[in-house]
Amino acid sequence: MTAFKSSVSLSSINGGHAKAGEVHVIIGPMFAGKTTGLLRRIKSESSSGRTVAMIKSSKDTRYAKDSVVTHDGLKFPCWALPDLASFQHKLGDDEYQKIDVIGIDEAQFFEDLYDFCCKAADHDGKTIIVAGLDGDYLRRSFGSILDVIPLADTVTKLTARCDLCGGRAFFTWRKTSETKTELIGGSDLYMPVCRQHYVSGESAIESTRTVLESFKVPNDSQTEVSADLI
Ligand SMILES: Nc1ncnc2c1ncn2[C@@H]1O[C@H](COP(=O)(O)OP(=O)(O)O)[C@@H](O)[C@H]1O
Ligand SMILES: Cc1cn([C@H]2C[C@H](O)[C@@H](COP(=O)(O)O)O2)c(=O)[nH]c1=O
């Protein structure tokens, strides 16, 4: 009786699909192997006969326009899109229906990630594998990737190797003073670091700022100087 009830409700909420969808989330700092893990899972799904599609943000122009590429150079063809809503439109409804598994790389750049995962997994019966940065260079939540955790079947947090000591790296350090959140780049701009080196880097920046501040001429004296000159 219970089994009968649940299969009736599943087919009604799931647009008539026999199988419910799934959401799997892979997070971590840069260089942690998120894209490598995503490619492995997509290739394994494909080998077991499921139809797969890969999407990445069109903001990521680093290695190739229409491929997801790992830091080691592994490649997989993809749709490079500005948003996820455009995926079904681009593919067409018939082709969309045929897709079983959708990989999403650089998921932190998609504002409509939550709505897409809800629709694709809950209503269209797709398996979605989401990979992206959980935190930005300031260790603040990045985009809406953390919002999909309550939707997820599984969450995997990967770590890289700290570039300074070889320990486990949980965070991404930005090597430049650029402060905008979104800044596309690789090892030219970023490095993975452990907690100790993230914190010591922050302290070094703070000390430098304090020293520079102490050299600044106060505003009042600047006014006096210019007044004297007049
Ligand atoms: N500091 C590092 N720690 C770990 N892997 C690194 C590091 N620097 C370069 N790599 C390389 O990056 C690869 C992971 O690349 P990728 O899957 O594209 O990572 P992500 O998508 O998490 O940025 C590793 O297999 C390794 O060869
Ligand atoms: C930390 C941080 C990263 N980015 C950018 C830099 C890269 O283009 C991607 C991350 O790529 P990966 O596959 O995880 O290596 O995100 C950013 O825009 N802002 C940041 O704070």
For a substitution probing ligand 2, which of 26, 27, 30, 59 has the most ligand atoms within 8 Å of its CB? 30
Q: Which of 195, 193, 181, 151 is nearest to 29 (CA)?
A: 193
Kindly report the number of other CB atoms within 10 A of residue 33's CB atom.
19
Residue 101: phi and psi, rounded to 5, are -130, 130
CATH top-level class of 16-158: alpha beta
Residue nearest to atom 18 of ligand 2 (CA): 182
Domain boundaries in the chain?
16-158
List pLDDT tens digits, range 184-212. 999 999 999 999 999 998 887 777 777 77
pLDDT of 9 > 90? The answer is no
Catalytic residue among 22, 45, 95, 106: 106
Kindly report the number of other CB atoms within 10 A of residue 30's CB atom.
21
pLDDT of 14 > 60? The answer is no
User: Where does the pLDDT of residue 230 fall: very low under 50, low under 70, confident under 90, or very high at 90 and above?
Assistant: very low
**What is the reported pTM?**
0.87
Q: Which of 85, 86, 140 is nearest to 117 (CA)?
A: 85
3-state secondary structure of 25: strand
Q: Tell me whether residue 202 is one of the annotated catalytic residues.
A: no
Mean pLDDT over all residues of the chain?
Answer: 88
Please give the sequence-ordered ranges of beta strands (E in DSSP) within the chain, or none if there are none: 22-27, 52-57, 67-69, 75-77, 79-81, 101-105, 127-132, 154-157, 160-161, 168-169, 171-174, 190-193
List pLDDT tens digits, range 104-139. 999 999 999 999 999 999 999 999 999 999 999 999
Q: What percent of the chain has pLDDT over 70?
A: 86
Residue nearest to atom 15 of ligand 2 (CA): 30
Q: Are 50 and 156 in contact (CB under 8 A)?
A: no
List pLDDT tens digits, range 69-111. 999 999 999 999 999 999 999 999 999 999 999 999 999 999 9
Ligand nearest to the Cα of 28, by number: 1
